[in-house]
Structure 1
Amino acid sequence: MKKTRHAAVAALRPLAAAIALAGAFGAAHAAGYPDQPITLVVPYSAGGGADNAARIIAQGMGEVAGQSVVIENKGGASGAIGAAYVARAKPDGYTVLYDASAFSINPALRKLPYDANKDFIPVSQAVSVPNILVAAPGSPFNNLADFIKAARANPGKYTYASYGPGSLAQMAGELLKKDAGVDIVHVPYKGGAPAIVDVMGGQVDVYFANAASSLNYVSGGKLKALAVSSGKRMPELPNVATVGEGGIKNFDVVEWNGFFLPAGTSPEVVAKLQDLVQKALARPDTREKLSKLGLTPVGSSAADFAKFVSSEQQRWAEVVKTNSITVN
């Protein structure tokens, strides 16, 4: 019996040595991370809110790390195509997903080629940004109360735009429908730019537009701001009331962007990337550029971001179920 036990222990020694060697290699790899360019996959089109923020943060990350951070746009299916690409990538920290709120909405709406909870490691929330409920400059509505009053009096008459089925813009509109008790019609677009154009022209009545892509239009008088979706007023629009102030209680909707790595990435690399993101977001020049877009830098820990994403998934799953939302 003793010989058998000794033989088993001896047989395990090479495996233990291999595991120890792998751990040492992983630690050494993490110590030098990043020692080559990082590809930051943005699963949305160039020029959109997430892309604009990603490029600002990527520049800061590159300057902190002394390595280039290259943006690669892989749009489609509300971010699902780019997310699937990263889920299949080598988990070495050099292919990173920069996703937005749709990441937490998609699991409730779509059959995905990945598991949002199992195939990714949340690293850090990068920014948060309110949506602005906007209308055409010549719209008869001057605030949210005006719009709700008209919508209640005319069920099915008024429309709201979104930048795609399952987007946060649609979810905000659906939440408004539920909480305000109004019947307004969803008009989805293939991106925020065409949605804004049609709101400006009066082809659609209102739109919960990402502040990063609409603030300049509001400031320039090309769009009229009826309300902001966050729990607090935006410093850039101090005279525009929140949806909550407009009579819809507990309405606090913000777009968010964050960093994810493929499952299987070592904890050491996750920690290194988290630190890199936080240092980039702490740079005064990075913060100033983001602020001009109406974006609030966050830079949360991986643990806090994971909790936040989970809470967002639960919230939007409930709205999808309650409003019987589907996508084609």
Structure 2
Amino acid sequence: MNKRLFTIALSAALTAFALPVVAQTYPAKPIKIVVPFPAGGTSDVLARILGQKLTESWGQPVVIENRPGSSGNLGADAVAKAAPDGHTLVLMDVGNLVISPALFKLPFNVANDFAPVAMVAYSPHLLAVSTKVPANTPAELVAYAKAQKGKLNYAVAAGMGSASHLAGVIYAQRNGIEWGYVPYKGGAQAITDLIGGQVDVMFNGMVATYPHVKAGKIKLIAISSAKRNTQMPDTPTVAESLPGFLTGSFQGLLAPAGTPKAVIDKLHAEVQRIAAMPEVRERLTTLGAEPSGMSPAEFGNWLKAEIPAMAKIVKDEKITVE
């Protein structure tokens, strides 16, 4: 073997040896999971479930850092620029993942600047209204909104350009109704104001919303999943009156691009193990969320497919953040 071939072979062998060593020593220090929204929302709830179990598994503290701003893009940008060693992660929702690229000029590229780790869960949106709104069904809500024409206030969880915003815009446009949009930094404050009657209606993730429905603090009108939910079989889907309507809260865990594959694989395997725990599955089910079995590669392919698909919807529906 000549010197050049020997060098290449040695380099390959060292790489193959080094990656498992990286995985064996990971995590070497506390892990930080950035949630780019305020505490109390869907991403925050899921991050804290995941963080607690990771701490128990690996013995390293997992710190949840809420870093809201710019429709969730501020926290995402911080992680995109963090050291790619697996100790700084971000839990992004569908708004950050595939909607923001169509609406904003971002300082990062979702598809290129992150390494997908795991699609943690999917939960449908709930279409909910204040108890002050005299509507209990989709038809009654549409009729009331048309009668009020522009007087209802729609709460936009996680800022303009979020999944909540997009769901409200498409719903209003397809039903021929008008309402004003009130942006919030996160779902928790939006729900608080919906409970208080300061706003009238919203689409929001089931994880964060359903407990308030069960408590009777807000009224549930419909669910955005393709099929009716077993926990609320009498609640219609939005698609029953608007065929093809499907929205929801996809929650993805990502690391900075360049994070060693061995670390990504170890993280992914642990997230999947945690998601399969009976107590975690039971809690997710109670919250209305479903764990996802996507591999990191499948997650990456999902991003590459959904980002242009969402851009087309934004363009076709003439959706803007102004």
Q: What TM-score, normalized by structure 1, do the two folds share?
A: 0.88
Kindly tell me the number of residue pairs found equivalent between the two proteins: 320
How far does residue 168 in structure 1 lie from its aligned partner after superposition?
Answer: 1.0
Q: Which amino acid aligns with 1:268?
A: A
The answer to whether the 8 Å contact 1:84/1:114 transfers is yes
In the alignment, is residue 41 of structure 1 matched against residue 41 of structure 2?
no
Partner of 1:92: 85
Unaligned 5+ runs, structure 1 = 1-5
In the alignment, is residue 277 of structure 1 matched against residue 271 of structure 2?
yes
How far apart, in 2, do the equivalents of 1:304 and 1:212 lie? 24
Task: Describe the shift of the 1:174–1:312 C-alpha distance in structure 2 as closer, same or farther (beyond 3 A).
Answer: farther
Partner of 1:53: 46
Partner of 2:200: 205
In the alignment, is residue 220 of structure 1 matched against residue 215 of structure 2?
yes
Partner of 1:3: none
SS in 2 for 1:232: coil
In the alignment, is residue 180 of structure 1 matched against residue 188 of structure 2?
no
In the alignment, is residue 122 of structure 1 matched against residue 134 of structure 2?
no
Match of 1:30 among 13, 18, 23: 23
Over the residues paired in the alignment, what is the CA RMSD in angstroms? 2.3
Q: Which amino acid aligns with 1:167?
A: S
Partner of 1:286: 280
What pairs with 1:129-168 in structure 2 (closer than 5 Å)? 129-152=123-146, 155-163=149-157, 164-168=159-163
Unaligned 5+ runs, structure 2 = none
SS in 1 for 2:264: helix
Partner of 1:240: 235
Q: Which amino acid aligns with 2:173?
A: K
Q: What TM-score, normalized by structure 2, do the two folds share?
A: 0.90
How far apart, in 1, do the equivalents of 2:79 and 2:190 lie? 28
How far apart, in 2, do the equivalents of 1:71 and 1:194 lie? 19
Task: Describe the shift of the 1:201–1:47 C-alpha distance in structure 2 as closer, same or farther (beyond 3 A).
Answer: closer
Match of 2:189 among 194, 206, 217: 194
What pairs with 1:77-88 in structure 2 (closer than 5 Å)? 77-88=70-81
The answer to whether the 8 Å contact 2:80/2:256 transfers is yes
The answer to whether the 8 Å contact 2:130/2:219 transfers is yes
Q: Which amino acid aligns with 1:39?
A: K
Partner of 1:265: 259
Task: Describe the shift of the 1:91–1:23 C-alpha distance in structure 2 as closer, same or farther (beyond 3 A).
Answer: farther
How far apart, in 2, do the equivalents of 1:315 and 1:186 lie? 24
How far does residue 47 in structure 1 lie from its aligned partner after superposition?
Answer: 2.2
Q: Which amino acid aligns with 1:111?
A: K
Q: Which stretch of the first structure deviates more once superposed, 268-277 or 232-241?
A: 232-241
Q: Which amino acid aligns with 1:26?
A: L
How far does residue 215 in structure 1 lie from its aligned partner after superposition?
Answer: 1.1
Q: Which stretch of the first structure deviates more once superposed, 35-44 or 99-108?
A: 35-44
How far does residue 153 in structure 1 lie from its aligned partner after superposition?
Answer: 5.0
How far does residue 143 in structure 1 lie from its aligned partner after superposition?
Answer: 0.8
SS in 1 for 2:111: coil
The answer to whether the 8 Å contact 2:127/2:203 transfers is yes
Residue by residue, what CA displacement relative to the aligned partner does 1:163-195 show, whole Å, maximum 9, x if unpaired?
211111111111212332333332222322332
SS in 2 for 1:126: strand
Percent sequence identity over aligned pairs = 40
